[in-house]
Amino acid sequence: MKIIGIIPARYASTRFPGKPLVDIYGKTMIQRVYEQSIKTKGLAEVVVATDDERIAEEVTNFGGKYVMTSPAHQSGTDRCAEVAAQLPDYDIIINIQGDEPYISPEQIELLSTCFADKETQLATLIKEISTEEELFNVNIPKVTINCRQEALYFSRQTIPFIRSAEKQDWINKHQFYKHIGIYGYRRDVLLAITKLQPSSLEMAESLEQLRWLENGFTIKTKVTQLETIAIDTPEDLKKISK
């Protein structure tokens, strides 16, 4: 089983243009993500998938590898698929978030272990919810799983609904999980899901993984105790300084 890590990185972010090139204590964000990723055991290779020459130049400058991709992609998944289509020798693709400068190699390794099961099509990580703030925050997707640790559903709403208790008691009545947005795909599955049209559930919740579930694919999950900081806006840089 040969695994590649792909880091999608685009320059034209709506909320933070040029984000991959922002300086974080002497290194660009994309360099920090890359350097964390190559520490991961089990990855045969790590490449940056970008549509911008400035990002490609930066990757070259710090000695990394990149693949140029179309500027038309709507998601990191689509960008990963374009790279995967050019690299038939890899069995598994790990989509590494390009805006998490201190992503843990242990998280990437944990996700990769999902594919030891030959039935695994897609995989992602989840984390136990421990606070009411997280439980009822619609910006934090929640997930329910079955006895095989496969995702049943993802929602911005709190799921499941606890009918027999007041909301302030829900966290003590059930183990809730939130989604940690890193994905792994078998190569053939990745190429298949990116040919699907957006689904009704996906459009309702604005969560692309619902398209995969709605079309009959299964998503294996593993529970992580780790969580890294994602940089979505310039204000998020303050979180790192703390």
Q: What is the pLDDT of residues 166-223, one digit of tens each?
A: 999 999 999 999 999 899 999 999 999 999 999 999 999 999 999 999 999 999 999 9
Are the C-beta atoms of 142 and 179 separated by less than 8 Å?
yes
CA 128/CA 126 separation, integer angstroms: 7
50 part of a folded domain: yes
- Residue 91 in domain: yes
**Nearest alpha-carbon partner for 114 in 143, 99, 144, 93:** 93
pLDDT at 237: 77
Domain contains 99: yes
* Residue 138 located in a structural domain: no
Residue pLDDT, tens place only, 15-71: 778 899 999 999 999 999 999 999 999 999 999 999 999 999 999 999 999 999 999
Q: Which residue has the higher pLDDT, 231 or 33?
A: 33
In the chain, the number of structural domains is 1
3-class DSSP assignment, residue 210: helix
Least Cα distance to 162 among 149, 150, 177, 176 occurs for 176
pLDDT of residue 242: 59
pLDDT value, residue 205: 97
Whether 145 is covered by a domain: the verdict is no
Helix (H) or strand (E) holding 49: strand 43-50
Pick from 104, 92, 95, 168: nearest CA to 136: 168
Q: What is the CATH number of the domain that holds 222?
A: 3.90.550.10
